[in-house]
Structure 1
Amino acid sequence: MKRILIAGATGYLGRYLVKSFKEQGFWVRVLVRDRGTLAQNGPFFSPAVSSIVDDIHVGDVTKPNSLTGACNGVDYVCSAIGLTRQAGEQTFYDVDYAGNLQLLREAERHNVAKFMYIHVCKGEIMNNPIVFYKQAFTKQLHHSTIPTPIIIKPTGYFSDMSDILKMAQSGRVYLLGSGSYKLNPIHGEDLADYCADAMNANTVSELEVGGPTVFMHREIASLAFKVLHKQPKIVYIPHVVIKPIFPVLKVINPTWYALASFFYEGMGMDVTAPPYGKEELKDYFHSLLDINNS
């Protein structure tokens, strides 16, 4: 039985990773800051996993001493560590780069055979603080002593599409440009299954993956209105209106600049990848509505 450490196990994707790796026969240790959160359901329907983990290591990737022994006796590491927004004093550098690097060094000390890192699709051509530190870590991973580095690059999560449904509920959806850029987002459970499959395979080092259906952005907006039984009201914002805001935002609030520029870049290009999975966005939207109405 292969033994794996999953870091970021209480996040949206991390919980599904625990479930998928267990279903594929792995012994699973999790790295968490608070063991109590494992018993709670996570965001966007992600499950409680306390009953299925085999071992718990309490630690924080921003505190290197707390990681001692986390990789002892495991064959593989899978890191879903990363900030979706800056919280408190922790920065994107602290977590996405330095934190993952500390975990990588611990994995090297224990001769871990494979280290899987969850990155973002098209990260190599993006230019914003969030992706910069993720991309910087992937370079460290490629140059590490780990025999098999694996970098998973999903297009985007269904959970990210929740904001479009919220806008539709409020009456209007705002999109950049003409809304014609393409995206095939993936459900967290499908992505976790893909990661477990990739860990079991003799795989290449970098893998892009998306969900089963490719949409234009305006089609996602229209789908949100359709499940709400509302007439679509979509406002298209020209790029030239938004772009001049970024230099000012960078000075006033670097955190909001990092987040806004990340989404701006993602919305300003096609972000598609080979399709995988069975979950459809329409069903996910309906699930969100069922929860909100219950």
Structure 2
Amino acid sequence: MMRVLVVGSTGYLGKFIVKNLIERNLQCVALARTPSKLQHLQQSIEIIEADVTNTSSLINCCDNIDIVISTLGITKQQDGLSYMDIDYQANLNILNEALRCAVKKFIYVSVFNGDALQNLQICQAKEKFVNTLINSGLDYCIVRPTGFFSDMTEFYNMAKKGRIYLFGKGQYKSNPIHGDDLAQVCIDAITEDQKQISVGGPDVFTQTELATLAFDVLSMPVKITYIPDFIRVALLKLCKLIFSTAKYGPIEFFLNVLVMDMSAPKSGVHKLRRYFESLVNNKTSR
């Protein structure tokens, strides 16, 4: 039976990948720094306790592994760890073990348009690893999602307060994807020949349509304020001066992607409306 190592198994996407591997009757090996987070699954999976930043703890983690799926990455730089420490170096630590143990394929989850966003801290680290993986000689697949439903929560939160603020004219498009749908794409990539998969959810929205959807779910009147883009540019410069490098990273990323079309080929069945409705009912769709 094929053995699949999931790195980042206790994170949002990793949990869905583990769940779907079990449902597909594939042998799942989960790498986790805190195995207790997977205790409820210990009858269904094999758990390896390891710290991805500590190479000695990773020795033999890829023994008898056929496929590695890594969702490893951070949004916020904290605990003294940078994007380069995790998104690049920690993934490289896993890749080195995969090469040593003759793993057949390495599937890595990066970000949509990441290759065009390498000037941003978070994408620079991810794409540095992507390039290393491509040149490693190992069979690989890079999965590039547009963003998760959870990334759209800010639209809901603003709507709940009565007004949504958008940069430009709200024309930029995106199709966020649910973690369960993205997990299916990652697992399908095991047997597919594609080297790069850009993917989003089943519905494409402009930012104005996202805002309208949030108000509609809340049964509130639509109130949108459009902010000139020069203010966003000024905010970027101001935040870079005010915040530490660690705190500026996610701000830099989101203020840049907010003025980009982030729509990719459609996949999945989960609807963003249902996610917003789950927020109304205080039951997050996870």
Report the TM-score when normalising by structure 1: 0.92
Once the two structures are TM-superposed, the CA of residue 244 in structure 1 deviates from its matched residue by: 2.4
Q: Which runs of 5+ in 2 are unaligned?
A: none
> 1:18·1:28 contact (CA, 8 Å) conserved in 2?
yes
**Equivalent residue number for residue 132 of structure 2:** 140
Give the residue type in structure 2 aligned to 1:244.
A
- Classify 1:53/1:237 alpha carbon distance in 2 versus 1 (closer, same or farther; 3 Å): farther
Give the residue type in structure 1 aligned to 2:134.
H
Once the two structures are TM-superposed, the CA of residue 25 in structure 1 deviates from its matched residue by: 2.4
Which segment is superposed worse, 49-58 or 258-267? 49-58
**Equivalent residue number for residue 20 of structure 1:** 20
In 1: Cα distance, 2:177 partner to 2:157 partner:
19
> 1:249·1:256 contact (CA, 8 Å) conserved in 2?
no
Q: How does 1:87-126 map to 2 (within 5 A)?
A: 87-126=78-117
**Equivalent residue number for residue 230 of structure 1:** 220
Q: Count residues in correspondence.
A: 282
In 1: Cα distance, 2:220 partner to 2:247 partner:
31
**Equivalent residue number for residue 34 of structure 2:** 34
Once the two structures are TM-superposed, the CA of residue 51 in structure 1 deviates from its matched residue by: 4.5
Q: Secondary structure at the match of 2:282?
A: helix
Once the two structures are TM-superposed, the CA of residue 256 in structure 1 deviates from its matched residue by: 2.6
Once the two structures are TM-superposed, the CA of residue 53 in structure 1 deviates from its matched residue by: 4.1
> 2:78·2:246 contact (CA, 8 Å) conserved in 1?
no
Report the TM-score when normalising by structure 2: 0.95
Alignment partner of 1:213 out of 200, 203, 206: 203
Cα RMSD for the two superposed structures: 1.5
Identity of aligned residues (%): 39
**Equivalent residue number for residue 265 of structure 1:** 256
2:138 is the counterpart of 1:150: no
**Equivalent residue number for residue 175 of structure 2:** 184
> 2:107·2:189 contact (CA, 8 Å) conserved in 1?
no
Q: Secondary structure at the match of 1:108?
A: helix
**Equivalent residue number for residue 282 of structure 1:** 273
Once the two structures are TM-superposed, the CA of residue 199 in structure 1 deviates from its matched residue by: 1.2
In 1: Cα distance, 2:6 partner to 2:278 partner:
27
> 1:175·1:236 contact (CA, 8 Å) conserved in 2?
yes
Q: Which runs of 5+ in 1 are unaligned?
A: 40-48
For residues 125-174 of structure 1, give each alpha carbon's deviation from its aligned partner in whole angstroms, at most 9, with x where no partner exists. 1121001100110000001131x111000011111111211111122222
